Amino acid sequence: MSPLILFLSFLTPITALEFRYHDNSEIKDYLTQISTSNPNITYLYSIGQSVTGQELWVLALGLSPRRHTVGIPEFKYVANMHGNEVLGRVLLLQLIDDLVRGYRNNEKWALYLLNSTRIHILPTMNPDGFDSSDTDCLFSQGRFNHNGIDLNRNFPDAFAGLRRRQQLDEEKREPEVKAVIDWLRTESFVLSANLHGGAVVASYPYDNSNGGSELVNGASVSPDDDVFIHLAKIYSYKHASMHQGERCRDSRPFLDGITNGYQWYPLEGGMQDYNYVWAQCLELTLEVSCCKYPPVKELPALWTDNREALLAFIQQVHLGVKGRVFDSSGVPVHNAVVEVRGRNNMCPFRTNQHGEYYRLLLPGNYSFTVTYPGHEVLTETLTVPYGPDYYSALKHDFQLRQLAMTTGRTLPTSPSPTCNYTRIVEAGGDVNRLAWTELTAGLGLVMVLRSLSD
């Protein structure tokens, strides 16, 4: 081999990825090439198939890309769930390229990030929709999946009311949505964002409400509102212009470039509420371009606008506290409930199968309560620093003590109820929900227009 060819073959895998719209099979080829040439830090897997049978490919990056490591939080980015909102596909491929090159070039930011975090990237959640989309900036051709369903309206919704929820459960869930739901069961994701187009704003839960106590001044406020606002501002302020409240056509300006999802417009069956309520994964909806299908020549600048924000947002997975819960004999326990005073999550946060919990919190003092059958309720106050600066949340394990009175008896192995809908329904209930439905019926046309805008 001549020195020149040797030089070129060494150079090839680390030259920058071309700025253009790769089609679904090109994305697959690119991910395959990356994963075979970087097996130590990447791993390619599929979470399922689209309606027409296209694989939903995910690239995992990290020092242990194939499996979870205790203490290393799981993070994910999802793009293109609306098939015609395509910038996210480009951004996530560029992000992969950037992370891998950064690592190979021994750049500190990439080493720290991949050493501390496992990052999962799904460049397209709706490959069928992409195939049928046109390149229009505004229209919604290609938004839906092959069955004509809006994937961001097809998730279970805690606010839908008991009757509606049962209806939704019985309905057929789209395969792309089912794949994501199963994915959330396999990995205990801590933080996530899903990328859209048609606006420039970072939107955070809740997207829905039933008119209960969560509804405050037109926003549907979650128990972790402070954390969500912080996360959304991280993205909007690290973005070149989002924080300036950029307006796309007729949209209203967004203060700081962020918005509560419901306050922007209510939607039922969205992915971010599902992630947060059911999978204890805090998720944002990032609207990254006014034009849903930006011209190719604008892609390099759009990447530059988003690059730092995408990286900084991943680093936020290190907010708060993480650790394990051990039973009286020193064994880490699954499904222990780990709650923070003042944060009544509908589905209380629970430890995963390794006995781990991850709790994103801003710096401050927090009172934790840990509950597990057969053991005393444990309460501890923790002082939480700003973890992202150190690429690690505060590490704290909880050591449970067996209940004296039940020693020797047969004990249940896990607490029974998973989610407590009473926490939202009690304050709102069906009466308010009725009023809300009537109100929104009057706004029907506005809602339909809005609902296709992101």
Ligand X SMILES: *[C@@H]1O[C@H](CO)[C@@H](O)[C@H](O)[C@H]1NC(C)=O
Residue ranges in contact with ligand X by CB under 6 A? 40, 111-112, 115, 344, 364-365, 383, 417, 420, 422-423, 426
State the minimum distance, in angstroms, from the CB of residue 86 to Zn ion: 11
By 3-state DSSP, what share of the chain in percent is helix, strand and coil, each rounded to 5?
40, 20, 40
Distance between CA atoms of 268 and 384, rounded to whole angstroms?
34
CA distances (Å), 208 to each of 261, 265, 269, in order? 8, 9, 8
> For residues 194, 200, 202 and 205, what is the CA-based torsion angle, rounded to 10 degrees?
-80
Residue from 28, 76, 82, 350 touching Zn ion (CB under 5 A): that is 82
**Residue 454's binding partner out of Zn ion, ligand X, none, with CB under 5 to 8 Å set by partner kind:** Zn ion
> For residues 183, 178, 261 and 438, what is the CA-based torsion angle, rounded to 10 degrees?
-150
State the minimum distance, in angstroms, from the CB of residue 72 to ligand X: 8
Nearer to ligand X, 235 or 372 (CB): 372
State the minimum distance, in angstroms, from the CB of residue 288 to Zn ion: 10
Do residues 282 and 274 make contact, with C-beta atoms less than 8 angstroms apart? no
> By CB under 5 A, is residue 454 in contact with Zn ion?
yes
Distance between CA atoms of 82 and 292, rounded to whole angstroms?
10
Q: Which amino acid is at 342?
A: G
For 332, the enclosing helix (H) or strand (E) is none
Binding segment toward Zn ion, per CB under 5 A, in 65-73, 234-242, 255-263, 446-454: 446-454
- What residues have CB less than 8 Å from 108, skipping those under 6 apart? none
Nearer to ligand X, 365 or 410 (CB): 365
Q: Which amino acid is at 130?
A: F
With CA atoms as reference, report the closest residue to 407 among 430, 376, 429, 434: 376
Distance between CA atoms of 366 and 320, rounded to whole angstroms?
10
State the minimum distance, in angstroms, from the CB of residue 387 to ligand X: 13
State the minimum distance, in angstroms, from the CB of residue 374 to ligand X: 18
**Residue 421's binding partner out of ligand X, Zn ion, none, with CB under 5 to 8 Å set by partner kind:** none
Q: Which amino acid is at 355?
A: G
Nearer to ligand X, 166 or 422 (CB): 422
State the minimum distance, in angstroms, from the CB of residue 75 to ligand X: 16
> By CB under 5 A, is residue 85 in contact with Zn ion?
yes
Would you name the residues annotated as active-site residues? 287
**Residue 82's binding partner out of ligand X, Zn ion, none, with CB under 5 to 8 Å set by partner kind:** Zn ion
CA distances (Å), 267 to each of 58, 109, 260, in order? 27, 37, 12
DSSP structural state of residue 85: -
Beta bridge partners of 370: 338, 378
CA distances (Å), 374 to each of 330, 396, 397, in order? 14, 22, 19
Distance between CA atoms of 286 and 198, rounded to whole angstroms?
10
Nearer to Zn ion, 247 or 396 (CB): 247
Nearer to ligand X, 109 or 237 (CB): 109
**Residue 417's binding partner out of Zn ion, ligand X, none, with CB under 5 to 8 Å set by partner kind:** ligand X
Binding mask 279-318 for Zn ion (x = CB under 5 A): ----------------------------------------
**Residue 111's binding partner out of Zn ion, ligand X, none, with CB under 5 to 8 Å set by partner kind:** ligand X
**Residue 422's binding partner out of Zn ion, ligand X, none, with CB under 5 to 8 Å set by partner kind:** ligand X
Binding mask 138-177 for Zn ion (x = CB under 5 A): ----------------------------------------
DSSP structural state of residue 187: S
Nearest residue to Zn ion, using CB? 196
Nearer to Zn ion, 275 or 351 (CB): 275
Nearer to ligand X, 48 or 415 (CB): 415
Tokens in use for 357? 């919990």
Subset of residues 189 to 218 that bind Zn ion, contact rule: CB under 5 A: 196
With CA atoms as reference, report the closest residue to 61 among 12, 96, 102: 96
State the minimum distance, in angstroms, from the CB of residue 18 to Zn ion: 25
> Which residues make up the interface to Zn ion (CB under 5 A)?
82, 85, 196, 454
